[in-house]
Amino acid sequence: MAQEQWRRTAAPLRLNPMSEKFRKSLLSWIGLLVLFIGLQSFANRDLADGMPPPIVGTGTDGQPFAGLSSLKKPAVIYFWASWCGICKSIQGTIRELAAETPMITVALQSGDAAEVKAYMGKEGFQVPVVLDEEGAIGKSYGIRGVPAIFVLGPDGAIRYSTVGYTTALGLRFRLWLAGL
C-alpha cells in the first residue's frame, strides 16, 4: 500500500538540468558571439599581416618619423581620426598604454599638423603621432575604418590586428601574447 501511494505522489525524475529558458538564452548568446566573430573577421579581412608596411611621414612637430625599426618590440601601431567617435572613446586606454608600451599612432585624414595638434591639445591626447592627411599609410595597411590597432611581436611582424572598439584588457592581453 505504501509503495502504491509513493508512486502516485512522486514527481517524475527530470534528468535535464537546463531549463528551456536557459537553453534559449544560451543559444542567443552563442549566436551573438558567432555573429560578432563573423563581423570582426569581415572587418579585418584586408588588414596587413606579416611584416608591416613602412610608415613614412611627419609628426605634428614637422619632424620625420624614424621608422618602425626605432620602436622597441612588442609595440603598437594605432590608426585613429579626430572625427571618429569610437577612437575618442578608447583614447584613455591608448594614452595609458603609450606611457608603458612602445607605440606610434597615425592620424588618418584628420587635417594638417596644426589641426591635429589643436585636436590633441583639446582632448589631452599626447601620444607620438604621424600625419596621414591623404590616407596613403592607412591604405597600405588595408584599413577601411578606424580605430585600427596592430600589435607587433618581438620580431617586428604583425601578430594581432583589429578594427573597432577594443577593451584595455583585450589590448593588454594581445600585447602579452605578442611578447611570448
Per-residue pLDDT tens over the stretch 117-156: 999 999 999 899 999 999 999 999 999 889 999 999 999 9
Q: Are 73 and 155 in contact (CB under 8 A)?
A: yes
Query: What contacts 5, CB < 8 A, 6 or more positions away?
Result: none
pTM assigned to the model: 0.78
The reply to whether CATH 3.90.1300.10 applies to domain 68-179 is: no
Reduced to 3 states (helix: H, G, I; strand: E, B; else coil), residue 132 is strand
Name the DSSP letter for residue 51. Answer: S
**Mean pLDDT in residue range 79-98:** 94
**Mean pLDDT in residue range 40-66:** 87
